C-alpha cells in the first residue's frame, strides 16, 4: 500500500487543517499494521468499499465486496491506538487543528460527546463528494477537490476566548492560572474545553507536551535536556508520560519511530 501526506495548498485552509494523507493500493495488497499515538487533532477518515471494526484502542479495516463509503472520526484519544489495514484500500484522512472543526460544523460539540464514531456524515453532499474524490485517479485533482470542498464549508470568525486559552496552555501556563486570569473556575474551564475541544485542558496540555518533545528530540543531546526543553519536570516525568502515551519508554520509541515522518507511527 502507498501512503502520501500533504499540507494544504490553500493558505486559508492552512490555518485550520494540519494536513491530510491518501492511502491507495500498491502492486501488492500487503497488510499495514501500526500503532498511532495521541494528538490534539480532530481526525476524519473516509474510505471506499471497506468494512471497519472500531474499538476503544483498536481499529481494523478490510476491503469489502460491497460498494460503500465509510467515514469515521476520532476526537479524543489519550492512549495508543492499534490500526490494522488488511489488504489494499482507498482512504483519505484529514487532521483538523485543535478547535478547527468548530469553524466547519455548527454542532461539533455533539461529536465530541461520542469521542469517535464510524458514521460521520456532517453535510448532505459529504458522502457523494468524498466518493467522487476517492474515485479520482489524478492526485493533484484529488487534492484540489478535497481542499475546495472544505473551503466551501468554512465559516471563519475572529479569534476568541478559546483561541487565547489554547495559546496560554501551549505556552506552559498552569491551568489554575489560566482560569484565574479569565475570572472563572477550573471546573468551568474543563466544561468549556470539553465542549469545544473534546478533552479536558489537562489532557490537551499533556498531549501537547508529548508532541513537543517528539519535535524537539532531534535537536537535543539527551533525555534530561529534552525534558526541560519540553516543559517536563524532569527526566523521570518524561519517561512516565511516554510509557502511558505510547506503551513504550522514550528510548524504544525514538529508536523505532521515524520522527521525521509526517505520521508518527510505530509499524509492527
Q: Tell me the per-residue pLDDT of 218-254, one tens digit each, with 9 for 90 and over.
A: 888 899 999 988 989 899 999 999 999 999 999 999 9
Would residue 252 count as lying in a domain?
A: no
For the packed helices 126-135 and 139-152, what is the interaxial angle rounded to 10 degrees? 160
Give the span between the Cα atoms of 173 and 211, in whole angstroms: 17
Q: Of the residues 126, 152, 178, which one is the last residue of a structural domain?
A: 152
Residues 38 and 145 both lie in one domain: yes
Does residue 78 form part of some domain?
Answer: yes
End-of-domain residue from the set 135, 152, 169? 152
Residue 206 sits in a domain whose CATH number is 1.10.10.60
Predicted TM-score (pTM) of this structure: 0.93
Same domain as 191, residue 227: yes
Q: Kindly state whether residues 199 and 94 are assigned to the same domain.
A: no
Q: Do residues 104 and 187 share a domain?
A: no
Lowest-confidence pick of 24-28, 99-103, 154-158: 24-28
Mean pLDDT for the chain?
92
Looking at the predicted structure, is the pLDDT value of residue 28 above 70?
no
| One domain for residues 96 and 120 | yes
Same domain, 93 and 117: yes
* Shared domain check, 189 and 120: no
Q: CB under 8 Å to 101, separation ≥6 — which residues?
A: 42, 75, 108, 111
Residues with Cβ within 8 Å of residue 164, at least 6 apart in sequence: none
At residue 257's C-alpha, the angle toward residues 233 and 84, to 5°, is 120
Q: Note whether residue 257 is domain-resident.
A: no
- Residue 54 is predicted with a pLDDT of 81
- H helix runs in the chain, sequence order: 108-112, 126-135, 139-152, 161-170, 175-181, 186-196, 201-216, 223-229, 235-246, 250-256
Give domain status of residue 193, yes or no: yes
Give the contacts of 171 (CB within 8 A, at least 6 positions apart).
Answer: none
Domain hosting 216: range is 161-245
Residue 46 lies in a domain: yes
Cβ–Cβ under 8 Å, residues 81 and 106: no
Euclidean distance between the first and final Cα of the chain, in Å? 15
Amino acid at each position: 500500500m502507498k501512503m502520501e501526506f500533504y499540507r494544504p495548498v490553500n493558505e486559508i485552509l492552512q490555518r485550520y487543517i494540519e494536513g491530510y494523507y491518501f492511502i491507495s493500493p500498491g502492486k501488492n495488497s500487503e497488510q499495514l499494521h501500526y500503532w498511532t499515538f495521541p494528538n490534539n487533532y480532530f481526525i476524519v477518515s473516509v474510505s471506499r468499499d471497506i468494512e471497519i471494526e472500531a474499538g476503544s484502542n483498536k481499529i481494523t479495516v478490510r476491503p469489502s465486496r460491497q460498494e460503500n463509503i465509510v467515514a469515521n472520526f476520532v476526537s479524543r484519544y489519550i492512549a495508543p491506538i492499534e490500526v490494522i489495514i488488511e489488504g489494499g484500500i482507498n482512504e483519505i484522512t484529514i487532521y483538523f487543528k485543535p478547535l478547527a472543526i468548530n469553524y466547519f460544523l455548527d454542532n461539533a460539540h455533539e461529536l465530541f460527546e461520542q469521542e469517535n464514531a464510524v458514521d460521520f456524515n456532517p453535510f448532505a453532499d459529504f458522502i457523494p463528494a468524498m466518493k467522487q474524490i476517492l474515485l479520482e485517479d489524478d492526485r493533484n485533482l484529488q487534492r484540489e477537490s478535497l481542499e475546495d470542498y472544505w473551503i466551501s464549508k468554512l465559516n471563519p470568525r475572529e479569534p476568541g476566548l478559546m483561541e487565547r486559552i489554547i495559546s496560554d496552555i501551549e505556552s506552559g501556563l498552569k491551568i489554575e492560572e489560566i482560569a484565574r486570569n479569565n475570572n472563572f473556575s477550573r471546573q468551568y474551564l474543563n466544561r468549556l474545553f470539553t465542549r469545544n475541544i473534546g478533552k479536558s485542558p489537562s489532557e490537551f496540555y499533556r498531549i501537547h507536551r508529548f508532541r513537543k518533545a517528539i519535535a524537539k528530540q532531534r535537536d537535543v543531546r539527551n533525555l534530561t535536556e529534552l525534558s526541560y526543553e519540553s516543559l517536563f519536570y524532569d527526566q523521570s516525568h518524561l519517561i512516565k508520560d511516554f510509557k502511558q502515551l505510547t506503551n513504550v519508554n522514550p528510548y524504544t520509541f525514538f529508536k523505532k519511530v521515524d520522527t521525521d515522518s509526517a505520521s508518527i507511527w510505530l509499524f509492527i
